[in-house]
Amino acid sequence: MEQRVKQALSLWGMEGASATLAAQRENHVYRVNHGPQSYALRFHRPGYRTEAELLSELDWCHYLAGHDLHVPRPEPDCAANPLPKIGDTYVSLLPWLSGTPIGEGTEITGDANAMTFRVGHEMARLHDLTDRWQRPPTFTRPDWTCEALVGDTPLWGPFWDHPDLSPDEVALLQDARTAARRDMALVSEDTGLIHADILAENLLLDEDHLCLLDFDDSATGYRAFELATFLLRYVERPDFAELSSAIIDGYSIRRRIEQDELSLALLLRALTYVGWIIPRRHEPGGATRSKRMIARATRLAQSYLNRRPL
C-alpha cells in the first residue's frame, strides 16, 4: 500500500484498513474496506480544482444527501476536516455506495425507455432541490455557460483546434459554434448548478433507489446540458428518438424542458468532448475515443445547421 494511502487512512482513524485502487482519472480513487463498511478515498489531482471548489462540491453533496437524494455524504476526518491535505494533494472520503450501474457503453439495463424516464425525473429532483438551497457564501464551482462552452477559450479546450480535423470539419464546427452562440437563449433561461457528468456508470441501481455518484465536474451551467450529457452516447442507437422523448417526459413531471433546448445542448456537449480529448489522444484507447467524438460532433453539427441554418 502506498505511504500516502496509509497516511490518509490514519487521518480517519482507519489504520489497518485495506485499500485498492478503483479509478485513476482526474482523481485517484481507492476503495477502502474498514470492518463492515466500505469507502471511496479520493486523492484530488493537484491544480485541477481549488480548495474552495472542492469544499463546495462536498457541501453540495452533504446538502443533497440530507434531503432524500441518494448521493454519497462526505465523511470528515477525525479532526472534523472534510478536506485534509497530504503534501500538495487534497484528500476526501465518501461512503462507497452499493448497487449496479444502470448501463455500460451504449447499453442501458432492462427497459431502456423506462430507465431513461426515471433518470430524467431524478435530474429534475436534483435541480429542484438545488434551487432551494441557500449556498454558503464561500461556494464556488466552475462556470460552464456560453463563453466556457463556445467562447474563445472554452473550459475544455478549443475543439476547433483538434489536429485530426480536416479543413472542412474545422469550418463545420466553427459554423456550429456561431449558430450555438446565436441560439444560446434557448438554454440560458434555466441556468444553475448541474452535476455535468450524469452518465450510466455514475448512476447505480440499489434495490429501488437510483444513486448518483461523482460530482467532480459539477458546475454552473444549463439544465438542458445535464440531460444532453446522459443522452449523447446514445445518439447512434435506432431508438434514440424514444430515449430523448423519455428523458424529456421524466424531467417534465417537475420542470419544463423543450426539444429545441435539448437539441442545442446535445450539440454543445458533443463539441466539448472534441476539446477534452485533444490532450488525451495518446492515452490507451484515446485514438478510438477521439475518432468517435469527432464523428459524433460533426454529425450533430451538420444536423443542427440543417435545422437552424445561419
Q: Is pLDDT of 180 > 70?
A: yes
Could you write out the three-class secondary structure of the chain? CCHHHHHHHHHCCCCCCEEEEEEECCEEEEEEEECCEEEEEEEECCCCCCHHHHHHHHHHHHHHHCCCCCCCCCCCCCCCCCCCEECCEEEEEEECCCCEECEECCEECCCHHHHHHHHHHHHHHHHHHHHCCCCCCCCCCCEECHHHHHCCCCCCCCHHHCCCCCHHHHHHHHHHHHHHHHCCHHHHCCEEEECCCCCHHHEEEECCEEEECCCCCCEEEEHHHHHHHHHHHHCCCCCHHHHHHHHHHHHHCCCCCCHHHHHHHHHHHHHHHHHHHHHHCCCCCHHHHHHHHHHHHHHHHHHHHHHCCC
Mean pLDDT of 150-178: 97
User: Looking at the DSSP assignment, which residues form a beta bridge with residue 30?
Assistant: 21, 41
State the Cα–Cα distance between residues 186 and 161, nearest whole angstrom: 26
| pLDDT at 1 exceeding the cut of 80 | no
Least confident interval from 18-32, 148-162, 230-244, 246-260: 18-32
**pLDDT tens digits, 47-101:** 999 999 999 999 999 999 999 899 999 999 999 999 999 999 999 999 999 899 9
Share of the chain above pLDDT 70, in %: 99
Q: What average pLDDT score do residues 239-258 get?
A: 96
Domains of the chain, earliest start first: 3-96 (3.30.200.20), 101-307 (3.90.1200.10)
What is the rounded average pLDDT of the residues 254-283?
A: 96
Q: Per residue in 115-145, pLDDT tens?
A: 999 999 999 999 999 999 999 999 999 999 9
The residues near 234 (Cβ < 8 Å, ≥ 6 apart) are 106, 108, 240, 243
pLDDT digits (tens, 9 = 90+) for 200-229: 999 999 988 999 999 999 999 999 999 999
* Whole-structure pTM value: 0.94
Distance CA 94, CA 82 (A): 10
Distance between alpha carbon 130 and the CA centroid of its chain, in Å? 16
The predicted model gives 191-198 an average pLDDT of 97
- Give me the pLDDT at residue 277, please: 96
| 8 Å CB contact between 120 and 246 | yes
CA distance 213 to 190: 23
Instruction: Give the residue carrying C-alpha cell 419544463.
Output: 256
